[in-house]
A and B are shown apart, each in its own frame.
Chain A
């Protein structure tokens, strides 16, 4: 009678200190390496102009990524951000170019900021209700507006490119404060406000608790439905702001292109920034760093003669590695 061999004893994996450090601060190390590489090899990298270009490009990604980080923190995802950008971006010129907007320029301008954001928040309310009240999976819930949101924007504008000349509105995309692009400051300010919200308010605390352990949070009295709806509303509102910025930069609104594929960049930035897909973490400044890294990779490759296409592959690898490291850390 043969007997079974003793099962192997599982040994706890011992990892070295540098490896742990790298994993904990991987994003900063990556950023430092990118900057160092560029400083050494990329021509004209250390010029102010380079900074401007990169800041204006990274700001919209960063703003959307902040909202996406909040949604991901509750264990959700929002695919509709690009469509919401298009919708908000299409509404603004419609308002200040309308006869009302021309007759009452100040009020028209104010409404051109407010109404698109209200519309964006309505989109967020729709997503949030589907997710939290009806229990639809976030990816599918946000797919509805992903498909029809841009359609609505195109219906509103009849698919036309709306060009305009409105210096006050365009300040959003072309203005400078202390020599740096306005939208860069705006992204930073929004990040500070949201980060404050996450860390200091009851709402923020509930976001992390629900994402970390929804059952425990509910049993401790957290209003899970309301909080989830709120998160989608904020995410859509930020997407709306980003949509307005893109329109302001171009002095034109193109519903077909505004925010196209933004959902992917935002998710990538959030994940690279350290957001856990299963929820419970909302690294707001991480999302900003993630956006910066994705932009820098793209820029680095471009500036060094590598084609735009290869940058996509690089982006893909960054995402997989970032998530893989998260998975490895959990085990």
Chain B
């Protein structure tokens, strides 16, 4: 009997190279950096690199959940700007209040997204486009279009500038917590499996009796919350709420998720690979800096955008091959 149930090995292998590709590329880039530049593996470079990219990693993780359900969240950049202002205002009460406060503000906007998408049946692209504008407006109104200086007397700036156990920035600790939590939710809870199932087929998921609306609401609130965390980082790292920041963050986040191998059509994705995708795009910039530092060539910082775009292009080319398989079967 088993003879009839042969494995489609080719597709399986292709499916895994998809996520493996990111890791290989990331490893290659790191080895390249280590061999070529003296201080690349130094503690300073590593911590500052991770610290700088912590915001993007958190946002990308939130975005990955949304994309796994087959949706999109364009509001994350504005939400981060908004929550950075909220956090700055809350900073006198200390990080214990400002961090949850910022996250809650982000989740609130995520909830608005969820309502517009689920209750009003507006496509995610337009709904989150609107909240993107709304959140940006909110940030500017709240701050009076000024950067809002944080309270330097409280422990707020410790988050972005201080070190945990004197070793590495607190932001890295928090990012780690968020990443592990997200990975755990996705791999080990019913909720996570439902997220992927919805992306694989919303109609099928409904017919299987899954709680589709509730799960979709969760991913948008979660994405808002992640953007909230990023906003608090932003305020803490720069010592001020930044209502004008966050431009284009949503698109870098989408790019990270895509580079990380999450299927654009939903249904397939991994949290660690998304993190790898964000790190990969960040490393392009880091290595460019080192290369310029050596003085042998002089590539302007603008090249990083071009190279990031090229990365995205290559990944998409690979992905279209992957998705072509199942589609042809249907």
Contact = CB atoms under 8 A, between A and B. Distances in A.
A312 B140 contact: yes
B70 to A, nearest CB: 10
Interface residues of A, number: 47
Nearest to A318: B130
A313 B123 contact: no
A328 to B, nearest CB: 9
B140 A308 contact: yes
Contacts of A140: 254, 258, 264, 316
Given A158-B300, A308-B140, A313-B134, A320 B309 contact: no
B302 A147 contact: no
A320 B130 contact: yes
A147 B248 CA distance: 9
Contacts of A260: 247
B302 A143 contact: no
A2 B300 CA distance: 77
Contacts of B127: 320, 323
B130 A152 contact: no
B126 A143 contact: no
A122 to B, nearest CB: 14
Contacts of A143: 251, 254-255, 258, 312
A311 interface: yes
B141 A310 contact: yes
Contacts of A267: 126, 129
B223 interface: no
B304 interface: yes
Interface in A199-234: none
B74 to A, nearest CB: 9
A34 interface: no
Nearest to B122: A323
Contact of A319 (B121, B133, B137, B138): B133
Interface in B112-143: 116, 120-123, 125-127, 129-134, 136-141
Nearest to B145: A309
A307 to B, nearest CB: 7
B300 to A, nearest CB: 6
A67 interface: no
A312 B135 CA distance: 9
Contacts, number: 135
Interface string B261-277: 00011000000000000
Contacts of B300: 154-155, 158-159
A83 to B, nearest CB: 9
B284 to A, nearest CB: 11
Given A267-B129, A308-B140, A309-B145, A327 B312 contact: no
A316 interface: yes
B303 interface: yes
A136 B140 CA distance: 36
A96 interface: no
B125 to A, nearest CB: 7
Interface string B305-330: 11111101100110010001001000
Interface string A290-331: 000000000000000001111111111101100110010000
Among the interface residues B132, B137, B264, B317, which one has the most CB atoms of the partner chain A within 10 A?
A: B137
A111 interface: no
A77 B129 CA distance: 13
B125 A316 contact: no
A148 B306 contact: yes
Given A319-B129, A324-B120, A324-B122, A312 B136 contact: yes
Nearest to B139: A309
Contacts of B132: 264, 316
B320 A136 contact: yes
Nearest to B74: A264
15 contacts: A143-B255, A143-B258, A146-B251, A147-B252, A154-B305, A155-B302, A159-B302, A267-B129, A277-B126, A308-B145, A309-B139, A310-B141, A312-B136, A315-B137, A316-B133
Interface of B: 72, 116, 120-123, 125-127, 129-134, 136-141, 145, 247, 251-252, 254-255, 258, 264-265, 300-310, 312-313, 316-317, 320, 324, 327
Given A314-B137, A316-B132, A324-B122, 16 more contacts: A135-B324, A136-B320, A143-B255, A147-B305, A148-B306, A151-B306, A154-B305, A159-B302, A267-B126, A311-B137, A313-B141, A317-B130, A320-B120, A323-B123, A323-B126, A323-B127
Interface of A: 77, 79, 130, 134-137, 139-141, 143-152, 154-155, 158-159, 260-261, 264, 267-268, 271, 277, 307-317, 319-320, 323-324, 327
